[in-house]
């Protein structure tokens, strides 16, 4: 599934082609994605000018005067800006036709992505209870430490809770815990304030670096220019079970936490 760096890479890629452009029309080939594409969106967007493209957690928000389209890429979705006459493929589910003569096209083989509507002045229910952005000033080690007090869940599950902090998905949670030297099974409430400061710094650093490197290509992610991300080649623990730790040479181990595969070094992480 595309994680925060992949979604941010997509936002950076499509925004220059969208902001200031008018939407001439929509072509919806598959109205049933994860949820049905809402009729109010289909009715409202044609004729609107795009004011901004923002990211909230793993959602993209395309803002107009009358409301915002809320886009999620799902497990295999991608957005690309193409020439208006580019022939759609089997998994190309909708196009936004722009006054520039280009189209914003959504492709999703698994159809777990979504296109939803947020009327102006409202907040969509999927966004209403989200925690702070990991790259923002509101997120730091002290905030993590305070929130963790009394919690018996594992620290990895804790930092992946979208009500605690948004956008720290499975890949980057594993990498940040390795960088901070924290065992993923450690109880969230038992991690010290100092180590949470290290973890918050690692989350920020790794996410920023992944954005700079174009995200992580594991299965399906392709950026809007058609180029896969390549942070994957630099992962320290994720997906490396049985391989030598890049720091100490100990074989990386894999366990399951919260129904997710979790990778760690038994020597470097405590």
pLDDT over threshold 50, residue 48: yes
Superfamily of domain 4-119: MutM-like, N-terminal (3.20.190.10)
pLDDT over threshold 50, residue 230: no
In tens, the pLDDT along 203-224 reads 999 999 888 877 654 444 455 6
pLDDT over threshold 80, residue 228: no
pLDDT of amino acid 221: 47
pLDDT over threshold 50, residue 231: yes
Q: Exposed e or buried b for every residue in 75-107, given b needs 16+ CB within 10 A? A: bbbbbbbbeeeeeeeebbbbbbbbeeebbbbbb
- Report phi then psi at 190, rounded to 5: -100, 0
Against a cut of 0.85, is the pTM above it? Answer: yes
Q: Which residue carries 């998994």 as its tokens? A: 91
In tens, the pLDDT along 150-167 reads 999 999 999 999 999 999
Write the DSSP string, 169-190.
-HHHHHHHHHHHT--TTSBGGG
| Domain ranges (residues) in the chain | 4-119, 141-264
Give dist(CA 14, CA 109) in Å, integer.
20
CA angle 21, 25, 29 (to 5 degrees): 125
User: Which DSSP helix (H) or strand (E) runs through 116?
Assistant: strand 114-119
Binding-site residue numbers for DNA are 91, 110, 151
The closest alpha carbon to 215, from 205, 225, 226, 223, belongs to: 223
pLDDT of amino acid 220: 43
The closest alpha carbon to 260, from 151, 190, 185, belongs to: 185
Of the two residues 212 and 49, the one the predictor is more confident about is 49
Q: Are 136 and 62 in contact (CB under 8 A)?
A: no
Binding-site residue numbers are 91, 110, 151
Confidence of residue 198 (pLDDT cuts 50, 70, 90): very high
Provide the 8-state DSSP code for 221.
-
The closest alpha carbon to 175, from 213, 143, 138, 142, belongs to: 213
Q: Are 55 and 15 in contact (CB under 8 A)?
A: no
Give dist(CA 218, CA 215) in Å, integer.
10
Give dist(CA 121, CA 132) in Å, integer.
20
Give dist(CA 65, CA 191) in Å, integer.
45
pLDDT of amino acid 213: 78
Question: Among all residues, which ones are annotated catalytic?
Answer: 2-3, 58, 260
In tens, the pLDDT along 115-126 reads 999 999 999 999
The correct CATH number of 141-264 out of 1.10.540.10, 1.10.8.50, 1.10.275.10, 3.40.50.300 is 1.10.8.50
In tens, the pLDDT along 233-258 reads 578 999 999 999 999 999 999 999 98
When computed from its CA atoms, the radius of gyration of the chain, rounded to whole angstroms, is: 20
Supply 184's token pair.
Answer: 């993923």
3-state secondary structure of 225: coil
Give dist(CA 154, CA 3) in Å, integer.
21
Q: Are 100 and 21 in contact (CB under 8 A)?
A: yes
pLDDT of amino acid 232: 55
In this prediction, what percent of the chain has a pLDDT beyond 70? 92
């Amino acid at each position: 599934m595309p994680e925060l760096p992949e979604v941010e890479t997509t936002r950076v890629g499509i925004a220059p082609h969208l902001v200031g452009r008018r939407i001439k029309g929509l072509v919806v080939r598959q109205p049933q994605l994860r949820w049905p594409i809402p009729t109010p969106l289909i009715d409202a967007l044609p004729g609107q000018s795009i004011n901004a493209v923002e990211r909230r957690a793993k959602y993209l928000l395309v803002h107009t005067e009358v409301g915002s389209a809320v886009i999620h890429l799902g497990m295999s979705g991608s957005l690309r800006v193409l020439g208006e006459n580019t022939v759609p493929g089997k998994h190309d589910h909708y196009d936004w036709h722009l006054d520039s003569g280009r189209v914003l096209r959504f492709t999703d083989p698994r159809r777990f992505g979504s296109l939803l509507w947020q009327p102006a002045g409202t907040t969509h229910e999927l966004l209403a209870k989200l925690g702070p952005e990991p790259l923002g000033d509101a997120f730091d080690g002290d905030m993590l430490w305070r929130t963790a007090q009394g919690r018996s869940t594992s620290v990895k599950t804790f930092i992946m809770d979208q009500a605690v902090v948004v956008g720290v998905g499975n890949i980057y949670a594993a990498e940040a815990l390795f960088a901070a030297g924290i065992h993923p099974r450690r109880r969230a409430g038992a991690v010290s304030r100092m180590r949470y400061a290290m973890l918050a710094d690692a989350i920020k650093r790794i996410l920023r670096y992944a954005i700079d490197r174009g995200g992580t290509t594991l299965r399906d992610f392709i950026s809007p220019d058609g180029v896969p991300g390549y942070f994957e080649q630099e992962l320290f623990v994720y997906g490396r079970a049985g391989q030598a730790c890049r720091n100490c040479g100990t074989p990386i181990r894999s366990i399951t936490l919260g129904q997710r595969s979790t990778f760690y070094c038994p020597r470097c992480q405590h």
